[in-house]
Amino acid sequence: MPSDQLSTVFGALADPTRRAILARLMEGDLTVGELRSPFAVSQPAISRHLKVLEGAGLISRTKRATARLSHLEAAPLMEATAWLARYREYWDESFERLDELLATLQRRPGQ
Amino acid sequence: MPELTITAPRDVPFIDISREFDAPRDLVYRAYIDPELLAQWLGPRRLEMRVDRWDPVDGGAWRYVHVEKDGTEYGFHGVFHGKPSPDGIVQTFEFEGAPGHVSLDSLLLEERDGKTVIHTHSVYQSVEARDAMVQAGMADGLREGFDRLEELLGRLVPVG
């Protein structure tokens, strides 16, 4: 994924309402009306959030009869998570090894 | 295990890391500044670490390589700026797989109740360069599964 697209994904994820929308879509596809119900925001506001999520490739929307269904797209999310996860893994493992080395060095003072 | 904190704000090209170690500051400093010790901990266990050059003086160069079992090498190099001390080690950092993307890394060791906290602050040339650099570390593909999704959604996304 190009890094500017990754920035778009992170931008989309930075909003708590949008994260809540994604979490709800994990259960299955929903219409704007269904998505709106737990939030204290207007339908146009939800639609704006959906537009941002769609722009980031995090959801896709299909027309079924008169309702428009939102569908969670997993791939960009996985890449967005992997972005920092791999970095974190590198340092987590390095620092775990440093813990061990420091413990060894402290058992052998003067060396 | 002490918690590793990584912060990568969305709008500024920084990455900050901090982590506590149960050891005195001088020893942690030695583990970083002595190339023989550095080679024993830096990088994933599955990779062999080879330090080609590590000259921690003002203007001194450094280069190390992580080597895969199949012989693939990931090289990194840079230069130390200023005289390194536990109060600050400043160095440039370049992954040879992404030439031209140079970051300025500073590391400082904070003593806290007989323990030591490592703080690193990396400044990239741009947000895009930072993201590309971190992504380059994902060269062997995306191994993270969907199970991380919950964690991602639940926790504040690390974008500040």
Q: Would you say residue A111 has pLDDT above 60? A: no
Chain A residues within 8 angstroms (CB to CB) of chain B: 1, 3-4, 6-7, 10-11, 13-14, 19, 22-23, 26, 74, 77-103, 105-106
Q: Which domain holds residue A22?
A: 3-107
pLDDT at A9: 78
Mean pLDDT of each 10-residue bin along chain B, 160 residues long: 80 88 92 93 90 98 93 92 97 86 94 93 87 55 33 39
Q: Would you say residue A103 has pLDDT above 50? A: yes
Q: What are the structural domains of chain B?
A: 5-137 (3.30.530.20)
Which of A13-22, A94-103, B3-12 is the most confident on average? A94-103
The answer, for B89 touching chain A at a CB cutoff of 8 Å, is no
> Are A10 and B137 inside 8 Å of each other by CB?
no
pLDDT at B147: 35
Phi and psi, residue B17, nearest 5°? -130, 140
The answer, for B46 touching chain A at a CB cutoff of 8 Å, is no
pLDDT at B157: 36
Angstroms from B47 CA to nearest CA on chain A: 11
- Collapse the DSSP code of B3 into the 3-class scheme (helix H, G, I; strand E, B; otherwise coil) and give the result: coil
CATH number at residue A75: 1.10.10.10
Angstroms from B131 CA to nearest CA on chain A: 6
User: pLDDT for A22-69, tens place per residue?
Assistant: 878 877 888 888 888 877 888 889 999 999 999 988 899 887 767 788
Distance, CA of B127 to CA of A53 (rounded, Å): 21
pLDDT at A4: 66
- This complex has an ipTM of 0.77
Angstroms from B67 CA to nearest CA on chain A: 14
Q: A22 versus A81: which is more confidently predicted? A: A22
The answer, for B31 touching chain A at a CB cutoff of 8 Å, is yes
Distance, CA of A18 to CA of B79 (rounded, Å): 43
pLDDT at A36: 86
Selection from B78, B77, B79, B70 nearest residue B48 by Cα? B70
- Collapse the DSSP code of B153 into the 3-class scheme (helix H, G, I; strand E, B; otherwise coil) and give the result: helix
> Are B146 and A78 inside 8 Å of each other by CB?
yes
A27 contact partners, CB below 8 Å, separation of at least 6 = none
Q: A6 versus A60: which is more confidently predicted? A: A60
What angle (nearest 5°) sits at the alpha carbon of residue B10, between those of residues A59 and B5? 105
> Are A77 and B135 inside 8 Å of each other by CB?
no
pLDDT at B142: 29
Nearest chain B residue (CA) to A75: B146
Nearest chain B residue (CA) to A12: B157
Angstroms from A65 CA to nearest CA on chain B: 31
Average pLDDT over all residues of chain A: 81
Q: Would you say residue A72 has pLDDT above 90? A: no
Domain count, chain A: 1
pLDDT at B80: 98
Q: Would you say residue A83 has pLDDT above 90? A: no
B158 contact partners, CB below 8 Å, separation of at least 6 = A84, B6, B7, B8
